[in-house]
Amino acid sequence: MARDAFITEAEIAGNESGPLADATVAVKDNISTQGVPTTCGSAMLEEYVPPYDATVVEHLLDAGATIVGKTNMDEFGMGTTTETSAFGPTENPAAPGHVPGGSSGGSAAAVADGEADLALGSDTGGSVRCPAAFCGVVGIKPTYGLVSRYGLVSYANSLEQIGPIAPTVEEAAELLDVIAGPDPNDATTRDEGADSEYAAAADGDVDGLEIGIPTELLDGAHEGVVETFWDAMDELEAQGASTHDVSLPSLEHAVEAYYVIAMSEASSNLARFDGVRYGQGGGFDGNWNETFARARRDGFGDEVVRRILLGTYALSAGYHEKYYDQAQAARAWVKQDFDEALDDADVLASPTMPIPPFELGESLDDPMTMYLADANTTPVNLADLPAISVPAGETDGLPVGLQLVGPAFGEETIVRAGSALA
């Protein structure tokens, strides 16, 4: 792996008697670590060292974990391959020559390669689940509000959550037990789920479980991915689960709505990186506009610039109602469809990604293909629901993930279902 998963080397040991006292944990490089660089995979923050720990990092240390490094990522979380990082790409240890997924590709690669027992990623539109699927490990995107975002460098506030990556469902759930819970520093956190015991739910018992299968999330998927998905469904049915098809008509518009909302929020969030408040300086020569422009041109990569520009356009006068307001209306429709489907099912199942891992470099010049690859994961973020990706098998030697989506704060249900396979 190029620079492998680790941008910076750090070893920070926590409480020796905590539940993670024997565990090594890698932390995505957009999660603040006191005294250790947090670059977000960007030249803009190459020299930034936070003066404080994120709440989840405090929880890790309290639980006794040893933090062994910060992991490579798509710049500011904007990508599906971990190739937009200013520090070079990460290779997939489970599929050499292929991408590890993104944007938390370094975290998944670290776990898949045994460089860390566990890892933290962040998931704005699939950025925990995609790399988990591509690297053949487990990733959980929690319900919005279950895990504190304090200390997470924001990309799109209304969509993102920090989540665990691990070799097995039980280990991912153990990490979720540590990081979940309300936080006075994050007003979006909730008390729901605070008393849950996620690791205890990983008992593999799916007898009587009702699984809904959204047909829209199979349409157009790679043939080998679909075959592997149905093999996983057969395995769950053999263990006592039952399945039925469901339709979520709103998914036709989910990817477009997601990218309008995410890019709009990114445009706002990244305005602070001007070389004065945050980021590398542009060299003041008497004209602040030129100074700001120079700092942002030199500090941001092409994908980040593209998303800022598109987000600024969507929020601009004359276009706000046409794009942003319509995207929010579509988001509400997506959430309604999911909630109705989950009235008649315990979980919803689909391939995590509609395609196997890209080859390195394959999608760099085709951002539209990269965006469309998020078709199965972005709707879950729009609906604020929990989801887990577990290994489902392989196609042509490449890992395939199974995604299970549950009702809000239904992490115990998706952990139980996922543990039947991993």
Residue tagged active-site, from 42, 85, 122, 127: 127
Q: What is the dihedral of CA 346, 211, 232, 239, to 10 degrees?
A: 80
Q: Is 322 a catalytic residue?
A: no
DSSP assignment of 327-382, as one string? HHHHHHHHHHHHHHHHTS-SEEEEESSSSPPPBTTSSTT-HHHHHHTTTTTHHHHH
Count of CB atoms within 10 A of residue 2's CB? 12
* Measured distance CA(256)–CA(309) in Å, rounded: 16
Residue tagged active-site, from 42, 85, 103, 267: 103
Residue 34 phi, psi (nearest 5): -60, 125
Residue tagged active-site, from 28, 85, 122, 389: 28
**38-51 burial code (b ≥16 CB/10 A, e <16):** bbbbbbbbbebebe
Q: Rg for the chain (alpha carbons), in Å?
A: 20
* Measured distance CA(352)–CA(346) in Å, rounded: 18
Going by the DSSP 8-state scheme, the letter that residue 268 receives in this structure is H
Q: 169-179 vs 55-62: helix axis angle to the nearest 10?
A: 110
Residues linked to residue 404 through DSSP beta bridges, in sequence order? 349, 388
Q: Is 127 a catalytic residue?
A: yes
Going by the DSSP 8-state scheme, the letter that residue 143 receives in this structure is P
Q: Is 335 a catalytic residue?
A: no
Sheet holding 242-246, edge to edge: 6-13, 66-71, 24-28, 118-123, 161-166, 138-141, 387-395, 398-405, 347-351, 210-214, 242-246
Letter for the amino acid at 343? D
Residue 340 phi, psi (nearest 5): -65, -40
User: Which residues are marked as active site?
Assistant: 28, 103, 127
